[in-house]
Each structure stands twice: as structure tokens, then as C-alpha cells.
Structure 1
Amino acid sequence: MSVRKLVCTAAVAAFLLTVTAPAGAVEQSQTDQADALPFMPAPATQVWATRTLSAQPGQQQPQFLRLDIAQLTPRFVTSDSPGTVKITGKIVNVGDRKVSDIVLRLERGESLDTEDDLRKALREPAAAEFVQPNFTKVADHLEPGQQKDFTLEVPLRGPEPTSLAIEQPGIYPILANINGRPDYGGQARLAALSTLLPVLGVPGGETRGKPGAPAKLTVLWPVADRPRLVRLGGPGQSELVDDELVTSLSATGRLYGLLQAYEQVISSMSTSMCLAIDPDLLRTVQAMSTGYRVRGAGEGKGKAEAKLWLDRLGLAVKGRCVVALPSADADLVALNRVKLTNMRTLALTDGPKLIQQVLGVQPLPDFVWPEDGVLDQSTFDELVTPQPDQKYAGMRSVLLDPTGLADAPGTAPVGIAGQHPVTAVKVDSMVSDALQGSASRPRTLSGVTTPVESQPVSVQNALSVLVFRAGWQGDGRNVVVTPPRRWNAPLSEMTEFLNAAQRLLSSGYATQLSLEELTGSTPSVTNAKITYPPEAGAREIAPAIADSVTQQSVELSGIVASMQQEDSEHAAPADLADPLWLGLLRAMSGAWRSDEEGARSATYISQGELNSLTGMVGVTPPSSPILLGSGDSPIPVTITNKLDVRVTVRIVLADTPGIRKLDLPDQVLPARGERVVRVPVEVLRSGRFPVNVRLTTPEGVALGDTVKLEVSSSAYGTITVIVTVIAAIALVLLSGRRIYKRVRARNGENGGEAPSIENVTPEKSSA
């Protein structure tokens, strides 16, 4: 028997998005029952790449078909749902050969009745071969590049050959299975979608009974983005790193969708819904609404979109629950590791004030939701400590993932004991992780790294888990749902998830619980402890980035220490420094976890803004060489301050052979002022000297550029004069000593008689 080329593709198809995965093995079909090989379908929470028998390890997997699913209805089955499941989409030939006999069927597995079973299904696809209906033909064949639209409608129950045979409520794994026969190969599974279908009630059949104690639902809806602001200024003067927010704020964009989904349900879920807003995003959109520029691209184009979105956000949050994320969604643990206490405090105090100012609503006080929902013990201890001088009252409630707590049974809030007790609210990790998918927690299979997953498939799985919590775990548990910080699901998927929550609430399977009630409750468990998972530490901001931000913070602190407000009409040092501190926070944003390149780019931006500030104070180059008239003539140096604050500076002359700098006190430069300072020096020799001079703060932070001065001197310095005099005296003494010796020698030749002056004759020089 010749070696059959077995090649398959598996696709996790997003509802409204498209993803593709290579296939794994041959599947039995109606026409080909032989040589069936194990196949792992594309799971609900990640895209897997599996190997065929003909592929060698490390080889690129061939792909033939792509399955694009546009719609699955119903997404959540109840007794009043239609009696059929309908999927629509298209099949695309993405390979290099014709594929024939293309057929499709929906398969299902056994109901997942326990939490462990459901968690396993979120990690990898559950078996869906319990019911395998007949295939339905989709196309006779597809040439490379061709595509075919399809609609498949199958009964939920009944004896029909295509029925899913669902007779009882449950959470069912389902599999959309595409078979085909590529040229030079046999019939095989070439594309598949694996996901979960929640059935709370079977149409015309059994309905799941309501629990004695309904689940208590709380949804924290994040409105955040990665940092984009470079510089904040007046109308038309602010600068962004790019103009991508225009798309996100427009009618089909991500941030617009988040706001619209919230608006659609807030009237019926006003108690359980709470917005979590990144203050830096709010600051950025506000700057855009007054006109702005894009670095390297001129005027920004999103002024109208920003103003509309900001106005709608302001209307939507009036009288509603709002929490402030750390400004720029700063990584609090990373800030604490490098001892940037002032920046950590700024991250927590900046947001509430800005939200109050821009939106007119007071965020939930003393509440923190850290990145990934975890804190280490050191950061936790710092956060709960009040800092009255910095107007920080300390954290009194915190939202944490269950992996960030120990000795914290159940789902109710727990107390963390200490000098300042804290109430810890626990996220429902199964629902929230299903929404998160594998985008931030990539897994591997057989050495193949999984690509970023399709969020809409994650929404379907999270919806299924939410139904399981309400319908199968009727123990009055708290279900606190937190979508990913920068959630990128389409509006239709967000709406599907919230609509499912609404239906659970309206049917009595769940009830609303506000975040304020959770944080204000008195915990029955008060001895919970903070834990920090190792995988969270591995995702922190890279040490090289943190070191760069630390160095910049030292420089900025030194500059601020040298500043003073001139008078009430001039700026205060904080007016100039605070935007730079916020820029440093952007470089430490949690958005850069596992994205070192993005963090590095942010540090370059913050360093550039810091250099712009220090460049406003410096030495003005002279227009001509400087001529010194004497050895102790001072060197005139012109120093300039273009800032709107008074600055104390130190003039630093580089070591120069032939010139010695004498002591000079620090100089105070007035705001927007210039001074000529005569720097005392001592010239050690005559000649021309290149003298490098620059300014620093008293703490040593460099200001402006180094300026080279051309200094000329024909005068002798004091030391030179002293050396010359000493040399002259030594010459006279040595000459006198020589004459004395000669006189004594001549006396010896005359028998000891002192010769008269007349008898002393000069010696004749020898020829």
C-alpha cells in the first residue's frame, strides 16, 4: 500500500472573526471508514497546531481548507429557543490543490456536569464524538482560492439522522467537522471548530430547575488601552505616538463597542455593572477632543470621534459605579520592586481626581484592581499604608484572582488581617479566564506554540461557564466577572455575553450584587493571606526597562529639587514635572507585560521628554573667542533658563591643562531669564585653551548641552610669576657661588695673599 499523504487543518473559527489551524489526522466519514487516526479538534480556548503522520517534527503543516463561521444560533439554549441549531459561514480552499467531496456535520459530546470537567474543556477540547450525525454535503469540490458559503441547520433533539439528540439540560461540547478529499490524498478532516453549547432548557423538553440560592452576579467592565500619549498641551498642541485611537473610538471600533455594549444593558443591570476606567486613556481622549498632533505625521484626525465618545461616556456613568484603574494601568508590583514609591502613589491618586474632574463622578474610594489580579506581599504592605503627605489614604479593598490568595475558601469577600485590614473581593477565575482565552497565557502542545486565540470563541465558552455557574451551582455563590483589561471582542460578542447575563437575571437563576456592597461587607473569613504566583512574576516588566525608568526618575527628582516657583504668576515645579512622571508611568504600564519592545519604545519617549525639559536650561555659546587680560581674569559664561520656574544651577568646567577652576557658588537663574556669570579661574600658562563647560543641578543632573569655549591668554598666572622669580634668585645665587670659588682658588695660587683688584685678570679662554 503506498504511503498516503495525510494532511489536515483545524480551525478555531471566531463568530465574526476568522482563524485557521493545521489539521491532525484522518477522520472516518460516511464514504471512507478505513485508516482512521486520532484527531484533536481546535479547542474553545486556544488554537492548537497538531501534526499529521506524514509531517516531520518541526515541518510546516500543510493547510487545505479554512472554516469561517459567521453565526451560531442559538448561543444559549432555553425552553423557548428554536428547536434547531443553525450555523452559517463559508469554507475557503487555502491550499495548493483541489479538494473534493466537502461535507460538514455537527457532533456533540456528553454533558460536562462538574467544574473540573468544564475547566478541562477550557484548556483543551472535550471529546465530541458521543453523537455523530450524518454529514451534509457543502460542495462537490473547491479549487485553490475558491470559497463556498454554507448554512447548516440541525435539530437539537429527535430521531433525525442529523440531530444532536439533546434530551436534557447540560453544557455540551460541540464540534463543527469539515471533511474533504484533497488531490493525492484520502478523505480526511480538514477543518474543525470546537466550542461549548449551554442548554438550560430543551425546547419541548426538560428545563433545569432554579437553584434555591441564585448566583450573585457582579461585572467589572474595563475601559482601557495601551498608552499612546507623548505630550499633553493646549488645544492642538498635545502629541500622540500614533493615530490608532481614531479607529477604536469610531462606530466600528473597540472602545466604541465597549461603551455601546455597556449602554445597552445598564438600565437592566445597573446594580451589577461597574466601569473600570484607565485615567490615562481618559486624559488622552480628552486631549484628542481639543485637537492634537501625531508624532511624525502632523495633525491628528480623531477630534470629532474623541469628543463624541467622551460625551457619551460622561452621560453613561452619571450616578453609576466607576472604579479607577492605576493611571496608565501601571504595574504596581514592578514599581514596588524598584522602589519607585512616589510613582506608585501617583498611579493610585491621579485617577480618582481626573475621573471626578472630567466625568463628574466619584470613583469607588480606596479600591485597587492590580494587573492580573495579583500582588506580592511587599507591594500589598506598601499599598495599605497611608501617606498623608501625598494625600494617599491607603488601600482598603482590593480585587484579586483566587490564585493571589491563600486560606480564602468560598467565593465571598475575605479579610486580610494587619495593622490596616483589607477586604479582598475574589474574581470568578473560570468565567474571566474563559473570556481572556490564551491571548495572555499561551500554552504549547507537542512543541508548537499556540497563536493568539480568537476572542469571540472565548466569549461563547465564557457564556457557557456563566450558565453553568447559575444553573448548576445554585449555592448563592458570588460570580465576579472581569473581561480582559484591553478586551478586543466585537460588539456583537460583548452583547451576546451581556444578554446571556440579563436572561439569567430575569429568569431568577442569578441576582445582581454591586461592587460597593462587596467591598463594604464584613468578611466572615479574616485570616486570608497574599500569595504571588511564579507565572505572574515571569510576566512582569523586564528588569532592563525598570532600570531605565529608575534612572530617569532619579534625573527628574534632581531637576524638581532645583526648581522654585518664581511668583504666583509663574508655573509651579509640579506643573512641569507631573506630565513627565505620568510619562514614566506609561513606560511601566501593565500593557507591556510580555511586550518588551512596546515598553522599550515607551522609555525612549519618556527619555526624550525628559531631555526636552533639561535642554531648556543651559550655557549659551559665545559668538567669539574669549581673551583673558591677566592670569586671574574670570571667564564670562552666559547661562539661560527658558523654563517658567526659577532654577538653581551649578557651572561645571571640565579639567583643562593650563587652567584651574576656582570655587564658585551655585547660581539661581530666574524664570525665563539669562545671566552672565564670571567664573573665577587661574591661568597656569599662556596660550589658547578649549574649555568645555555645562550646567548641572546641585544634585548633579546634567542640564543642556556641553559648550566648548575658546579661551586665549598672553598673561602669566601667579604660579608662573612665582616660579620665574624663584628661578632668577637661584640663578643669582649659583652665579655668586661660582665667582666665590674662583676667587678662593686664585688666592691659593698666590701663597695665601689676598690679591689686589688690579692683580685679578680675567682668564684667557683656551684655543
Structure 2
Amino acid sequence: MVDGRRRPVTSVPGGSSRGLRPLPALLILVALVAGSALLGAGVAALGPGAPALAAPSAPAGPSRGAGANESHHPDTALATISIDGVRPTVVTTTTGPTIVVEGTVRNTGERVLRSLTIRLQRGPAVRRAADLRTELAGDPATFEINGEFSAIANELRPGATTGFSLRMPLSSAAGLRISEPGIYPLLVNLNATPDDGAPARVADSRTLLPVLSLPPDPDRARRFVQDPAAARGLGPDGSVAARTSTPAPFTMLWPLAAPPQTVPGRVGAGATDRILLVNESLARSLGPGGRLYNLLVGLRPVKAAGPGDPRAAVRESLCLAIDPDLLVTVSAMTRGYAVLANPAAPAGPTKPGRGEAEAKAWLTELTALAANRCVVALPYAGVNLDALHRVGNTALTRLAVNNPADLVDAVLGVKSVRGMALPAAGHLTDNGVAELTKAELPTALAASDGIAPRGGSDPSGQYAIGRVRVSTFEPAISAALGAAGSSPHTLAYTPDAQRVDLNTESAVSRRQSALAALAFPAIVVPDARFPARPDDPLPVSGRGALIAPPMFWSVTPEDAVDLVATAGLLLRSGAATVAPLPAVVAATAKAPRPARLVPPLGAPEWLPAPETARSIDASANLTWQLQASLLGSPGVPQAGEAHAAAATPERYMAPLRYDLIRALPSPREASTNEARTRLIRTAQAARVSAVADTLQRMRASVSILDPGGRYTQVSERSPLLLVTRNELALPVRVRIETAAPLDFTIGDVGIIEIPARGTRQVQFPARSATSESTSVTFTLVSASGVLLGGDPIKLSVNSNAYGKPLFVVTLIAAGILVLLVARRMWHRLRGTPDPADADRPEASAQDRFLAGRDYSWRQGESTQHPPDGTDD
């Protein structure tokens, strides 16, 4: 029996009777006339004795067909259905014999809807994980088990709403006819008659119902009494137990990640630097009601679960998967930050950030939640392995996929799970495996639809692909989880058949589908009658229930409560068993069964253009070269701090490398839009260009001050003096290379250190062998060989040295002097007068007298008359 209890009809203000617009009204009138003509022609063709066509909205008996004249796709412009409640969310032996679906119908068109009727339908049980999505996107004709139509309103005006409540038995012939555990698609079907139209299906809404076990049923109880041996799984009261003979190992990741928010092209000199963000969207996400805030709120019941609580088992199976980019950014926000006044102007003015308190509260709660819990690091900023392969920089790859664990441990004070890569997109390619091999990561998580086992599926869902071992998960389950929450989206690499129009489904219907997807591996035991692949009774993921939601998950606290409760129910019932992530990693590392990769549907818009990839490689190498020349400096403690972290070259240069990694994101949503591709590539190029510009400015910040004009040496060995300048926040080691003519020698001063934001005078020993003007070139390079300071400095040097002519003249003059002295000595020794004295006059008597007196006499008696009595 179907309970179609009505709810009050409500209408929007002024929505009593909206007139049709001229053009739509004309088109509708033409369509109706044409339709009436065709319908009349069809009836005439059948002859006068032909039966009349039945309107699908007529609630005439318990029809089991989908409705012969119902279209596959309703006119969603006329109405929408919002499922607001499903009870029970998971069927068990204790939940009762009926299912209740409640919701709201809204008239979204411009015509009055009349004679509104609604019913509940069921499709075949889901056998494969992919059907979790295809059954929500397929033909409604597959929903063959139908309830009766129930009237919910005589008319519904544009913009008005009315409620409904449908109740059906789970197992009886007049109900959903569910007789065994499984995942069952449900469809709520709305028929109505628009003004100036014919009765039609105007809206539907779909969801999934997980049936873990079934409550008592009189009919099944009679079967048990008649033949207990044949009624396997039945209880005496007709209840059906959960399938617990092969429980699914249950592991669940809880992702915490966000798109990058930092302004690119900025370096950091330590903990005292203020981070600059594009806008306040991350602060809003961390605050009450935000996406990241809700993700932590949803885990509070798990944290508080005590012994015996089913949620305690969930805690053992659950692992926090954290993006280190998010963690580092939030940690920096707790020390104060700034945001751009205009996000479109990265070099423009900034203003103080307002989310410091939210960042502190969120990080404090996360730290407490992560203590003594499983934590694993996601690749930095959700980097794309295929994009890393296109760049071809092994050091950058290791930084992106190996280093994140150290960052998470440093911020949260934990020891995260090591040895497994969790690619953000979930799909691996040969290029991705090559990058993991370079990074020396032995295991990875991979989507099952990208793996083709050799020789059949393995029950563990773990395989060997070259030197990398992979553990598989079902991407359809991830897609169902991604469709839940406040910001539902379709994951990248989702096949067309599995793409569901999420805009037509309510939050409750999407949540219900997520619960069913979560329970699928534990409830649906592989059956040889429904192989996942030809000649293979097991799905690629085997019996494992490794749940991997999308990176930017947006579940609400209500979603999280139901998900955790469902996981606890599966574990308590024995349909699933606890499988901690460290145990999964250890088992995966030993996976023996070989497999090959199946290329996924491409997402080329997320791969960098070749020129962008080359720029990333060059800039990454340059950051390490510059870092090798920098020196650390002690940190300056801030108010209230006992000490401050030292400013190291690694901390100074690392932000630029992480900016390059942020330019290589994994695809998040399914899209082939060319305009979106151009937008993504433009954003990638802009971030990479910002890093390249910063590196160029850093190189120009260390320079030689041009003395300008000429330099004059006092002597041939006078040194040359130059002044070097460093505008960077850290000291730098450099050397100055010189080039000069052969007749001008300059000594090498070796490696010198220039202080941070300071200058240093450098004295070069020099020797000039000529008095001519000489041109000398000085080139500044870092100690690691990076050209600094722009163009080399050219200096014109004038020397006072006379060179070889002066040397020759000096030697000749010295020789002449020696000869003259020798000649005079020769004549003196022989007692002969020197011919050079022949022209001198004879000395007077007074000169001879004075020559014979000593100096003291001359000083004391110089005023006396000469002995000859003559007057002066």
C-alpha cells in the first residue's frame, strides 16, 4: 500500500497566476496543436474499435510497468522533486517492514500544474560499482517495480510547493519486493497535467537504498517452517541476516584539502614572515559553517566514541588524508596574514587578513584529532603525476610526493603513514608510475577501472605494476561521495554513462546515495552470475572496501554523522572488518599478481603547455642553485616568544618551488570545455611566470655598484676597489670573475660573503705593465655559478706606470753613474788630477785657510779677521 499523504500547498508571493510570455506561449500552442493532430491521426489509424490511450497519471491499480507512454526524460522545466527524508537510511533486521520517502514538489515552470500524482518505483539490485551511478542516470523504464500513484495536489501554481510522503512495504508483492540484501535504486515519479497540455511525467528524483539485512516477514517465515534447510539465510521469523561469511576489509580516508590560496612569487625568510593570500575564501572555509570546518565537526562523534561504541571501530579504520599545502598555509595564517585588496592585481595593495582566530581554532582541533590517530599526507597541492612527468624534474617530483609527509609531521607533531602515494585524481598512467619510481615510492592508491589484472582479479584488490604496487578503490564510490555535501561535483575521468545531473537531486537524496555507495563493498558479495569483467567473478578491487572520497570533499556535519553511523553499522554487523591503512600499505607492498594500466579518459587541460613545462624545470633548478649560495641567519623572536626559528636558505627558497608545484594540479571535475582549458593553462602560466620574475629580481638584487667612468692607479701595483651590494634577506656567497688584457694582472679574491641587505667593499690586487688606458670587466656570479647583477661591469683603468721604456732609461742612467764614479776613484788612487777638474779656478788663500779649519772654529771665530790682517 502506498501512503500518499498530502502536505500543505504553498506559493510564492505574487505567484498566483503568471501570464505566459508571448514567444514561449506561441511555441507551446503550436506544439500542442501538432501533438493533438498526431494523436488524432493515431487513433484514427487504429480504427473505430481501438481502445483509448490511458493517461499515465491515472492511479488505476497496482501497475507493475513503468508506464507505456512515459518519456525517458521528464520536462524538468515544469517541476522539481526534492527528497527530504528516507527512513530507514539503511535497512536492517530492526528497522521495520516499510520504507518511507518524504519530500517536496515545486512548480518551476510558468504554467499551472493540475492533478498531481506521485509514486515510488524500484530498479534492479546494483551488481557492479559502476551501477551506483548508471542507475541514477539511466532510463526510468528500468525501475520496473512500481507502487500506486497517489494524488498530492489538485493544482500547483508557478513557484508554489507541496509536500508528499510515500510509504511502501519492503518485501510484499504490493511493495518493493525486496527479498535479499543489496543496494536498490529508488525513483520518485511525478505526473501532472500542465495548463494547455496533456498528462505527462513532469519530474522524477532518484536515490539508492542500502539493505544490509531484512526485518521479519510472515511469508518468509512460512517458507522457513516448510523447508528450513532450503531457506538459507532465513530466520524462523522470516528475517534475513547480513552476509558475513566474507567480510570486506574496511579502510576509509578522510581528505582535508583546499585549492591553493597563496599569492605566487613570494619568498620567505622564516617564521616572522606574513603570508599573502589572494582572498579570504580559506578563512571562510575554516570558520563555522565552512567546508573545512564541517569536515572536522563531522569527526567529533568518532573522536568521542568510547569502548563498545560502533564508531570506535570506525576510528581504527579511518585515516586523515591531509594536503600539506593546506596545513602549511593555515599554520602561517595563525601568525597573522594579509590578503590582496584586489585579487586581480597581485602586485597591488594589501589589507590585513581577518581569519587568524579561525585558523588557530581549526588547527588546534585538527592537532587534537590527529594525536594518536592514523594520518597520511596527500601529494602537495594535489599535484598531477602526469604533469610532473612532462616537466621532467626528478628533484621537484620528490619534493611533491615524498616531502609532504615531513611537512605534515612537523606541523601536527605526528608520525604519518609512509610509503604510499595517494594521487589526487586517483588514476595512474605509465608516466605516473615512472614518476613514483623516480621518487622511490613503492606503493600507490589507484582507481580500479584503470587496472587490468593479468590472470584474474585478486581478492585483496592489490597488484604489481612494474616496480610499483597498487591498492585499488572503486571510483564510482568516490563519485557518489563527491556528489554529496554542500558543493557536489562530478569527478574527472567519470564515464559519460555515470554522469548524473546533480542539480536535479536534493541534498538528502545525494546523501542517501553516498551511504549506499559506502555500504556497497560490504553488502554486495561478488556473484559469479554477475562478473565484474568477462570470466572474472570478482571486481578488480576484490573484497576490499577502501573508501577514497575526492580531495575537495564538501560533506556537511549531517552527512558525516550518517556516513560514520553507516560505517559503524557495517563493522558491528560483521559485513565489514577493520583494516587500518598501515596494514593495507604493508600488504600492498607484497602484492604478487601482475597487472597493466588502462589509460583513463584524458584531461589534457590540466597538463602544462610545453613552454610552461620548460619554464618550470628551469625555475626549479635555479631555486636550488641560488639556495646553495645563501647562508642562514638567526631568527628574531617576536613578542611573547622565547626564541624564533632561524631564517634558512631552505625556508627562503622553498615557497617558490611549491608555487611551481601548485601550477601542476590534478583534474578535479569532468570537463572538456575549451574555454575552461584556456583558463586553466593561463592560470598555470601566470603562476609560473610570477616565480620566474621573482628569480630574475633576486639575481638582480645582488650586484656590483658601478663606479662609473675611469679609475686611476696611483702606481702600477695600486689595488682596485669595488663595492658589492646584496638586497636579499639572507647573506649570499659570491665570486667576482675578471677579464683584462695580458699586460694587466688582477688577483683572485676567491669566494666572498655579502651580508643581508648590506654592502661589502672588495679590494683586488692589480699590476699594470703599461701606462696606457686599460678596459677591465667584472662579472658577479654566485658561489654555485648563477650569473648575478645583470650585465658585467666594464671599468676603464689609467695607470701611472711607464712600463719598459722607463726601466731601460733607469738601467742606462745607473750604468753611466757607475762609470763616472769609477773614473774618479781611478785618478785619485793614482794621484793624478781628474781631467774633469781642469777648468776649475785656483783656490784663494782665504779658501785654503778655511779649508784647514774645523767646523767649531768656523762657528766661533768666523767673525775674527783673517790671519793675514786684511779687512773684509
Q: Does TM-score exceed 0.5, indicating one fold? A: yes
Partner-residue secondary structure (3-state), 2:297:
helix
Cα distance in 2, alignment partners of residues 592 and 167 from structure 1: 39
Partner-residue secondary structure (3-state), 2:554:
coil
Tell me the CA shift for residue 516 of structure 1: 1.6
Q: Tell me the TM-score normalized by structure 1.
A: 0.72
Equivalent position of 1:424 in the other structure:
470
Equivalent position of 1:750 in the other structure:
none
Q: Residue deviations 1:61-100, cap 9 Å, x none?
A: x82333344433332222322534132335153x3x2322
1:274 maps to a residue whose letter is: C
- Is the CA contact 1:563–1:648 (under 8 Å) kept in the aligned structure 2? no
Equivalent position of 1:87 in the other structure:
102
Equivalent position of 2:701 in the other structure:
616
Equivalent position of 2:673 in the other structure:
none
Residues 667 and 164 of structure 1, relative CA distance in 2, 3 Å threshold: same
Equivalent position of 1:388 in the other structure:
none
Q: Does 1:303 align with 2:356?
A: yes
Cα distance in 2, alignment partners of residues 445 and 505 from structure 1: 33
Partner-residue secondary structure (3-state), 1:77:
coil
Cα distance in 2, alignment partners of residues 68 and 362 from structure 1: 45
Give the structure with higher Rg (CA). Answer: 2
- Is the CA contact 2:383–2:400 (under 8 Å) kept in the aligned structure 1? yes
Equivalent position of 2:621 in the other structure:
554
Equivalent position of 2:442 in the other structure:
396
Q: Does 1:316 align with 2:380?
A: no
- Is the CA contact 1:442–1:449 (under 8 Å) kept in the aligned structure 2? no
Partner-residue secondary structure (3-state), 2:145:
coil
Q: Residue deviations 1:288-344, cap 9 Å, x none?
A: 122111133411111111111111111112211111112223223321332211111
Cα distance in 2, alignment partners of residues 662 and 541 from structure 1: 53
Partner-residue secondary structure (3-state), 1:271:
helix
Q: Does 1:77 align with 2:85?
A: no
Partner-residue secondary structure (3-state), 1:3:
helix
Matched residue count: 652
- Is the CA contact 1:696–1:702 (under 8 Å) kept in the aligned structure 2? yes
Residues 330 and 514 of structure 1, relative CA distance in 2, 3 Å threshold: same
Equivalent residue for 1:512, pick from 578, 581, 595: 578
- Is the CA contact 2:59–2:150 (under 8 Å) kept in the aligned structure 1? no
Which runs of 5 or more residues in structure 2 are unaligned?
A: 1-28, 36-53, 61-65, 218-237, 306-311, 342-349, 484-488, 528-541, 637-645, 670-676, 769-775, 803-872
1:307 maps to a residue whose letter is: K
Q: RMSD of the alignment, in Å?
A: 4.8
1:410 maps to a residue whose letter is: D
Q: Does 1:294 align with 2:339?
A: yes
Cα distance in 2, alignment partners of residues 596 and 175 from structure 1: 41
Cα distance in 1, alignment partners of residues 738 and 510 from structure 2: 61
Q: Residue deviations 1:681-707, cap 9 Å, x none?
A: x9xxxxxxxx99996658885656779
Equivalent position of 2:663 in the other structure:
587
Tell me the CA shift for residue 29 of structure 1: 1.6
Q: Does 1:641 align with 2:726?
A: yes
Equivalent position of 1:186 in the other structure:
198
Partner-residue secondary structure (3-state), 1:320:
coil
1:89 maps to a residue whose letter is: T
- Is the CA contact 1:366–1:395 (under 8 Å) kept in the aligned structure 2? yes
Equivalent residue for 2:121, pick from 105, 108, 119: 108
- Is the CA contact 1:375–1:530 (under 8 Å) kept in the aligned structure 2? no
Q: Residue deviations 1:226-260, cap 9 Å, x none?
A: 12234555457122222111221122111122222
Partner-residue secondary structure (3-state), 1:337:
helix
1:63 maps to a residue whose letter is: A
Partner-residue secondary structure (3-state), 1:424:
strand
Cα distance in 2, alignment partners of residues 28 and 497 from structure 1: 37
Cα distance in 1, alignment partners of residues 58 and 319 from structure 2: 52
1:291 maps to a residue whose letter is: G
- Is the CA contact 1:196–1:464 (under 8 Å) kept in the aligned structure 2? yes
- Is the CA contact 1:399–1:425 (under 8 Å) kept in the aligned structure 2? yes
- Is the CA contact 1:443–1:449 (under 8 Å) kept in the aligned structure 2? no
Tell me the CA shift for residue 166 of structure 1: 5.0
Tell me the CA shift for residue 131 of structure 1: 0.5
Tell me the CA shift for residue 435 of structure 1: 2.4
Cα distance in 1, alignment partners of residues 353 and 790 from structure 2: 32
Q: Residue deviations 1:536-580, cap 9 Å, x none?
A: 564652235433322322332442344456899985432322222
Equivalent residue for 1:247, pick from 280, 284, 296: 284
Equivalent position of 1:66 in the other structure:
80
Equivalent position of 1:154 in the other structure:
167
Cα distance in 1, alignment partners of residues 785 and 155 from structure 2: 78
- Is the CA contact 2:385–2:435 (under 8 Å) kept in the aligned structure 1? no
- Is the CA contact 1:27–1:189 (under 8 Å) kept in the aligned structure 2? no
Equivalent residue for 1:133, pick from 148, 160, 175: 148
Tell me the CA shift for residue 412 of structure 1: 0.7
2:121 maps to a residue whose letter is: R
Cα distance in 2, alignment partners of residues 509 and 275 from structure 1: 23
Q: Which range moved further: 666-675 or 639-648?
A: 666-675
Q: Residue deviations 1:111-157, cap 9 Å, x none?
A: 315327556425635622431421332462213xx232424232335
Tell me the CA shift for residue 478 of structure 1: 1.5
- Is the CA contact 1:66–1:92 (under 8 Å) kept in the aligned structure 2? yes
Equivalent residue for 1:275, pick from 320, 327, 330: 320
Tell me the CA shift for residue 638 of structure 1: 5.2
Equivalent position of 1:762 in the other structure:
none
- Is the CA contact 2:182–2:210 (under 8 Å) kept in the aligned structure 1? yes
Tell me the CA shift for residue 362 of structure 1: 0.6
- Is the CA contact 2:479–2:491 (under 8 Å) kept in the aligned structure 1? no
Which runs of 5 or more residues in structure 1 are unaligned?
A: 8-25, 42-51, 53-61, 386-391, 654-660, 683-690, 719-767
Cα distance in 1, alignment partners of residues 180 and 726 from structure 2: 79
Equivalent residue for 1:412, pick from 440, 460, 470: 460
Cα distance in 1, alignment partners of residues 797 and 747 from structure 2: 21
Q: Does 1:362 align with 2:415?
A: yes
Equivalent position of 1:746 in the other structure:
none
Tell me the CA shift for residue 495 of structure 1: 2.5
Q: Does 1:40 align with 2:69?
A: no
1:227 maps to a residue whose letter is: P
Write out aligned runs for 1:682-693 (5 A).
none
Tell me the CA shift for residue 273 of structure 1: 0.9
Q: Residue deviations 1:698-721, cap 9 Å, x none?
A: 888565677999x99999xx9xxx
Cα distance in 1, alignment partners of residues 777 and 188 from structure 2: 75
2:261 maps to a residue whose letter is: R
Partner-residue secondary structure (3-state), 2:402:
helix
Cα distance in 2, alignment partners of residues 78 and 5 from structure 1: 52
Equivalent position of 2:189 in the other structure:
177
Cα distance in 1, alignment partners of residues 287 and 57 from structure 2: 47
Partner-residue secondary structure (3-state), 1:464:
helix
Q: Does 1:500 align with 2:566?
A: yes
Q: Does 1:470 align with 2:484?
A: no
Q: Which range moved further: 177-186 or 499-508?
A: 177-186
Cα distance in 2, alignment partners of residues 620 and 523 from structure 1: 59
Aligned sequence identity (%): 26
Equivalent position of 2:530 in the other structure:
none
Q: Does 1:603 align with 2:688?
A: yes
Equivalent residue for 2:513, pick from 457, 461, 470: 461
